[in-house]
Structure formats: C-alpha cells, structure tokens
Amino acid sequence: MPGFSHEGRKNGEFLESLWPALKENKEISLVEALCYDEGTPTIRHISEYAERLAKIIERERPDGIIAHSMGGLALIKALGILNEKQIYWKGKIVFVETPFNGAPKWKLKYTGFPVNTPAVRDMFRNSGFMQMLNFSVLKDCQVLCILGAFSNVCFGIIGWLAKPVMDPHKRFIAPQVYQYPKIEHNELLQDKRVASDIDIFLLFGGFPVP
C-alpha cells in the first residue's frame, strides 16, 4: 500500500519503485493496492481510502502486506473495518516509515505538505482520525517496522523531533523494529538491505538477524 510520497502516481508505479529484489523473487507474487483518486492520496480522508483497501484485502486475502508512510495508517484503519464485519485478516505486515503517532501541523506545513487537504489533516497528531485509530487489530499479526533516517524531508529536520512521529512503541508494542539511520524516507523503497530483510520476513515468517 503506497503512502504519501506517491502522490500523482498511477496504478503500477508503486511496484516500479519497489525493491528490485522483491520483484525478482519468483516465490513472491506482488499485488498492488492503490486506493487513491487518480493516484493522489490527499484529496479524501484516510478513512475513505481505508474502506477501499479493506475491500481489496477481503477479495485478495494476501499473505503479507507492505505499507509505506501514510499507507500504514490506511491499513490499520482497513483492518478495523474488516474486524467490524467479523473478517479477521491475520498475516504479515511490513510498515515502512509509517507516522504511527501523527505529526504536528507545523511540521507538515514546514515540509511543504498541503495542510488543508483531508488526508493531511487526518495525520495531525491530535486529529480525530489519529485518536480513534485502533492498534489492537495488529495483535495477532506478524509485524515488522522499518524506520529510516529521522531527519528525512517528510517528517522533520532534527532527529529527536521527528522520532516520536515514527516510533511505533508510542501506540503499540511492535514485535520487531529495524532502523536504517542513513536512508531517507522514500529511499527505503529501493534499498537492497531493506529488501533483503523484508524478503526473509515475508518468505519465512521470521525476523532477520540484526
């Protein structure tokens, strides 16, 4: 599930930016879920995108899901929607630089986000969407969190200010967190080391050796 960095992209282009190692692995069948209007993930509320994603998960029943950035928030909401329908998807999830704790409005505005759009407002730290997001849906899933440089262009200039935005332990206890401090927010999508770790996780259901 692509995140905010893929604004303007069309279906198929998320996979084109994804790790070559994953694309080349014949044991992994990649299915893209692009739920945004014309590839633009800002013009509707995240909950609306989550409803679309929930239908895709219900139909495709994937073994694992990779969610980048805001796509991770849409995924958590989508699993909540499925749970309300008594459909319990419990697979492998890889969150890549998902802002689990929401971001301050000033930070999003400073980095150039269109802060008056519905999806970006949902990502505000104290938004109704962030306050109501139910992390208990991840309880029985195998979860791997990938974090890159906290000084990335999307979520802050100084690491100690940006870290709480990404830190999953503020909202739930992530089974495993891997950090790549020299890799930026969007560069994680093409880094071979990241691909190798996710490869192991998706294929074998365990966690790579640090």
Local mean pLDDT, 10-residue blocks, the chain (210 residues)? 58 64 66 73 89 92 88 95 94 91 79 80 92 93 86 54 81 87 80 85 64
- What's the confidence (pLDDT) of residue 205? 66
**Residue of 73, 82, 199, 203 whose CA lies nearest to 140:** 82
Any idea what the Cα angle at residue 111 is, between residues 138 and 4, rounded to 5°?
Answer: 40
Tokens in use for 118? 């519905």
Cβ-count burial 146-173 (b if 16+ within 10 Å, e if not): bbbbbbbebbbeeeeebbbbbbbeeebe
- What's the confidence (pLDDT) of residue 4? 61
- What's the confidence (pLDDT) of residue 201? 87
Show me where the domains of the chain are located: 4-204
Return d(Cα 127, Cα 117) in angstroms, integer. 13
- What's the confidence (pLDDT) of residue 73? 95
- What's the confidence (pLDDT) of residue 132? 94
- Residue 144: phi, psi to the nearest 5? -125, 125
- What's the confidence (pLDDT) of residue 7? 47
- What's the confidence (pLDDT) of residue 14? 67
Give the containing element (helix H, strand E) for 118: helix 118-122
Polymer length in residues for the chain: 210
Specify whether domain 4-204 bears CATH 3.40.50: yes
pTM of the shown model = 0.87
